Amino acid sequence: MMEAKWPLVGILSGFHPQKQFSGDDHFFRAIASELSNQNGSAFVFTPNGIKEETIEGFFLHDETWEKNVFPYPDLVYNRLPSRKSENTKKMKQFFNKLCARSIPWFNTRFLHKWEMYHLLLNNKAIRPHLPETILLTDTSTALNFLQKHSFLYAKPVSGRTGSGIFTLNQTALNKYKITFHEKERIVTDVQLSSLFSHLLLKGYDYILQQGILLNELEEKKYDFRILLQKPLDKWELTGIGVRAAQKGGITTHVPKGGSILTLSEISPPVDSEMIMMLGKEAVKSIETSYTEFRECSIDIGRDTQGKYWIFELNTKPMVFDEVRIEEKRIKTLVEIFKNRSVKENLPIGKP
């Protein structure tokens, strides 16, 4: 068994058929390197590596991930890639074991969009900044909601990086435009009902969200992606990124054709105080039922009238493309690891 420095952080990732583990390799390397610089150590492991008293995982040695056997770590950083992978019998047993051994772990689980919306809706301070949202449960309710707002976003409840999103616009009586990432169609209300029925029949869980006309730069709508972290008892703003959709694009996600802007490029300037207020109120709302998470990203938009809207909150943030933000994020993560690895710092994660 490999001897480790304090704190020993276990990065929990998912199984991958072609690689040692799933997840962002560069991100995990950055964490391991920063921990090593501060006399700590890290290893990456998957559910397959969990044993009764030890864990088989991979540590970074000379720029290569090498397999070894480790004791249970001082802290577990949960980067499992899906809600499904968290809810297996083996993982529930593992999380219970961590609690029994007083081993802290975060971020404890995924939040899907419908659950997130209801948690945020309970906060009066941010309620006016939430686009009205419903769960797709039947075709008639969906059509009535579209008639109410005339412009909607349809989003998978558990989707990430913009996958599965499409928009709906009412263009005339009983005529609608459906826009996907790379194509659009004009359909009748009967055809649209068939689409909703198909999604329901296949068991695809979707929300319908009031569409917001976002501010634009050079005919490209943009929004803000903010990163919040909690090294001790208070949430701190790590950075604000700006994402622009391609012309005619429906999302600003970079994997779906979006691009990165700087804050200096947009006008009017971003209201940082408003962004911070919305961010802190949002995480406060989530903490009412989700006790142990220490970082999150929030997608916030500004409409053509200057009003700010909260679109989404992610308790397992993706990597930020802005180098400055990502470097600060890694340093703060290591600070969190060291703070949380002190056993007196309870409460610990709960399954």
Residue-wise pLDDT tens digits, 279-294: 999 999 998 887 688 9
Strands 295-302 and 308-314, how do they pair?
A: antiparallel
Q: Copy the structure tokens of residue 290.
A: 């989700």
Exposed / middle / buried, residue 155 (Cβ in 10 Å: 0-12, 13-18, 19+): buried
Please give the CATH architecture assigned to the domain spanning 113-129+213-315: 2-Layer Sandwich (3.30)
Give the DSSP per-residue string, 281-334. HHHHHHHTT-----EEEEEEEEBTTS-EEEEEEESSPPPPS-HHHHHHHHHHHH
- The highest-level CATH class for domain 8-106 is alpha beta
The string of pLDDT tens digits covering residues 143-197 is 999 999 999 999 999 877 778 899 999 998 889 999 987 789 999 999 999 999 9
Nearest to 12 by CA among 110, 144, 153, 101: 110
The CA distance from 161 to 180, in Å, is 14
Residue at 79: amino acid letter: R
Q: Copy the structure tokens of residue 250.
A: 């429906």
- Return the pLDDT at 270: 95
Report the share of the chain in percent with pLDDT over 90: 79
- Return the pLDDT at 4: 62
CB atoms within 10 A of CB 292: 19
- Return the pLDDT at 106: 86
- Least confident among 14-18, 57-61, 137-141, 187-191: 14-18
Report the share of the chain in percent with pLDDT over 70: 95
pLDDT classification of 268: cutoffs 50, 70, 90? very high
- Least confident among 86-90, 247-251, 261-265, 315-319: 247-251
CB atoms within 10 A of CB 323: 8
Sign of CA dihedral 24, 113, 163, 88: positive
The string of pLDDT tens digits covering residues 74-88 is 999 999 988 888 889
Can you give the pTM of this predicted structure?
A: 0.92
The string of pLDDT tens digits covering residues 224-260 is 999 999 999 999 999 999 999 998 888 888 877 789 9
The string of pLDDT tens digits covering residues 326-335 is 999 999 999 9
The whole-number average pLDDT for the span 191-209 is: 95
- Return the pLDDT at 342: 63
Residue entry with tokens 């309970």: 122
Nearest to 36 by CA among 296, 330, 318: 330
The CA distance from 205 to 44, in Å, is 31
* Structural domain boundaries in the chain: 8-106, 113-129+213-315, 133-210
Exposed / middle / buried, residue 177 (Cβ in 10 Å: 0-12, 13-18, 19+): middle
Q: What is the DSSP letter of 278?
A: H
More confident residue, 78 or 111: 78
Any idea which fold 133-210 has? Dna Ligase; domain 1 (3.30.1490)
- Return the pLDDT at 76: 96
- Residues paired with residue 210 on neighbouring β-strands, in sequence order: 152
Residue at 6: amino acid letter: W
- Return the pLDDT at 110: 81
